[in-house]
Every structure is written in structure tokens, then in C-alpha cells.
Amino acid sequence: MKVCIFGAGAIGGHLAGRLAKGGADLSIVARGANLAAMQADGLIVRAPDGDMQVRPRLAADPAELGPQDAVVVCTKVPALGSVARAIGPLLGADTPVVFVTNGVPWWYYASHGGPDEGRRVPEADPGDVVWNTIGPARAIGGAIYSACTQPEPGVAQVVSASSKLILGEPDNSRSDRAVALAALFKAGGLPCSVSEKIRVEVWAKLLNNLLSGPLCVLNRRTMRDSLADPAVRAAATQLVEEGIAIARAMGQPVPGGAAERIEQASGINHKPSILQDLEAGRPMEVEALFQVPLRLANENGVPAPMLALTVALMAQAAEGAGLLRPAA
């Protein structure tokens, strides 16, 4: 199966290594120092279950790779517009595109049903570029749980020993294409399932982002160090509880409570990806990850004062660093 990873940063590099180990005919779209490093030494993935070094086909221009059986997009949300404009040469007539992204995704209301059917998420897809170019019929959702960093170009470091990936179709069907991709990831050593309630999984992952992202951006510390402070832990608990209430109001009740999520996160000595972006000077996903759920809380009459405060402060921090606006 020909699979292309579009964007091999920390998460993309990890997923690329798993696909290669699972037997995929792998290619990667990359650029700059990351591309140069992989051209020289291959992609190196350092993981708790063993290191991997793979040599996929590499290109900065997708036209050099040609049509794929599947594409997995692992860029941050602000880069999705540029991905949509470049991805065309990778797409055959039936090529699915998996979006392993955080936040409320651009495809959220595709095959949603009810009065919100076809509604857009402008924070995740300004100008409907992704919707109109790639289209919801190709989209497969992806929720990844994997603490990863990129310590140097061409290297993905997996911090967590309990990584997992959840795939799902917007129409909640258990499609052959999603099952086939899940099998490749599992063969590569990454637990991967196909959910028939992908929006619940979107909210479940978003709760993790809510409890760590705003607070860690504000104090520049890891989740473990942040949650060691009782006052910060209490704020994180309230953020999760507000997120659970928003998800419930959206018709997507997430199993479990705040306490178990806080307890799990408190043992992770890792900086969340949005803090990594701030420190590296990359565009931050404030809009899609945090301002969308806040907007949805307001639309559904769900009180979310802690989310409102922390998102406002985080947005100010991102704006002060020149990293708030989405990438072109």
C-alpha cells in the first residue's frame, strides 16, 4: 500500500516510522533541514519499544511522488491551507486523506446530520480552502495520543510508552480504507483502532489539550511540573470539566471524568506541542484548539470561565510572540 506522510515533524515522523515498519510503501513530503537530514541519514525514530531507521522516498514537491493509496497529513492546523494547495499530485480518484490534527477539525460537520450538516469551522479552515480542495469525501479523522518531540531534523523522539492512534470516518462507518490503514499502523507496533464515534474521540483528545495547553504555555513547563502545583491542578481540573460540559452540549458525551485525566497527565514529563511551537517560533494552533471550543461553549450556553481566561491569556502570549495568525 502506497502511503505518503505529509509533514514529518515529531508526530509525523513517528507515524512514518510505524508505517514503514508495518510494510507500507512509504513516501514523505518534507522540506528544509528536515528533508536534508532524512536524505542524508534516513528518518530516525527513537521509541520506547526500539529505535527505527527507515529510508522512504522523499520530496519537497508532491509531484515527484505521484498518486498514493492514502495520504496522512500531520502538519499543524495553520498549515492546512498550504497542504491543500499542494496535495493534488498525491491524490488518485479514490485516495483518502487522514488528518491527524488536534482541535475541532475542518471536516467536523461533514456527514454530521441535522441542522448543522455541512457547517464550516472557519478557525480550522479559513476560506474553506481544505473543504473545497480536498473535500470531506476523502477525509478520515485521526486522534493521536503520543508524546513526541523532534530533537533535531530527521529525528522523532517518542517520550510516552503508551502511544495510540484512533481513526474514524466522518459518517461513523467502519470503512475498508480506515481498517486497512489501521492494520498497517498496528503491524508497525502502534495500537490503532477504527472508531464508529469519531467526534467523541475528537472531544476526548481535545480535553487533554485543554488541560495542558493553556497552562503550560503560560508557565513554560512540562505537564508533570505544572500539575504538581495544587492551584494549577485545580485550574486544569476546571478546564477539563468545562470541556466535558461543552462536548455533552454538542451531543458527544466523553466517557470518564476530570480526575483520571489529570492523574494520567501529571505523570508525563513532556511539554505539549503548542508550547513546543511557541518556543520554536512556529505558528500556534490557538484558534482551532482553544478558540473553537470557547465559541461553541458560548453558542450552547455552557459556562466556561476558566477556558475563557486561559485562552485569552494564551492568545496574548501567542500574539506577543507574533505566532497567533494562521500560516498562509
36 and 84 in a single domain? The answer is yes
90 and 239 in a single domain? The answer is no
284 and 300 in a single domain? The answer is yes
173 and 241 in a single domain? The answer is no
Question: Is 186 inside any structural domain?
Answer: yes
Where is the domain boundary, 155, 176, 196?
196
For residue 325, pLDDT over 80 is answered with no
Question: Is 36 inside any structural domain?
Answer: yes
44-55 pLDDT per residue, tens: 999 999 999 999
Percent of the chain surpassing pLDDT 70: 99
The per-residue DSSP string of 197-238 comes to -HHHHHHHHHHHHHHHHHHHHHHT--HHHHHTSHHHHHHHHH
70 and 130 in a single domain? The answer is yes
Q: How many CA atoms lie within 13 A of 137 on its CB side?
A: 6
302-324 pLDDT per residue, tens: 999 999 999 999 999 988 888 87
187 and 64 in a single domain? The answer is yes
37 and 71 in a single domain? The answer is yes
192 and 204 in a single domain? The answer is no
CATH assignment at residue 310: 1.10.1040.10
Residues acting as catalytic residues: 205
Work out the average pLDDT over 85-108: 97
Question: Is 284 inside any structural domain?
Answer: yes
Domain that holds residue 16: 2-196
For residue 119, pLDDT over 80 is answered with yes
pLDDT category, 327, cuts 50, 70, 90? very low
Question: Is 88 inside any structural domain?
Answer: yes
- What is the reported pLDDT for 328? 43
Does an H or E element contain 47, and which? none
Average pLDDT, the chain: 95
Distance CA 3, CA 71 (A): 6
The per-residue DSSP string of 199-210 comes to HHHHHHHHHHHH
Question: Is 246 inside any structural domain?
Answer: yes
- What is the reported pLDDT for 91? 98
Where is the domain boundary, 196, 214, 245?
196
For residue 222, pLDDT over 70 is answered with yes
Q: How many CA atoms lie within 13 A of 44 on its CB side?
A: 12
Question: Is 328 inside any structural domain?
Answer: no
130-166 pLDDT per residue, tens: 999 999 999 999 999 999 999 999 999 999 888 999 9
Distance CA 308, CA 293 (A): 10
pLDDT category, 116, cuts 50, 70, 90? very high
- What is the reported pLDDT for 160? 83
Number of domains in the chain: 2
For residue 326, pLDDT over 70 is answered with no
Percent of the chain surpassing pLDDT 90: 89
239 and 161 in a single domain? The answer is no
- What is the reported pLDDT for 288? 84
Where is the domain boundary, 175, 196, 217?
196
Question: Is 325 inside any structural domain?
Answer: no
174 and 205 in a single domain? The answer is no
For residue 33, pLDDT over 80 is answered with yes
186 and 220 in a single domain? The answer is no
- What is the reported pLDDT for 80? 96
69 and 217 in a single domain? The answer is no
Question: Is 68 inside any structural domain?
Answer: yes
256-280 pLDDT per residue, tens: 899 999 998 998 899 999 999 999 9
pTM: 0.94
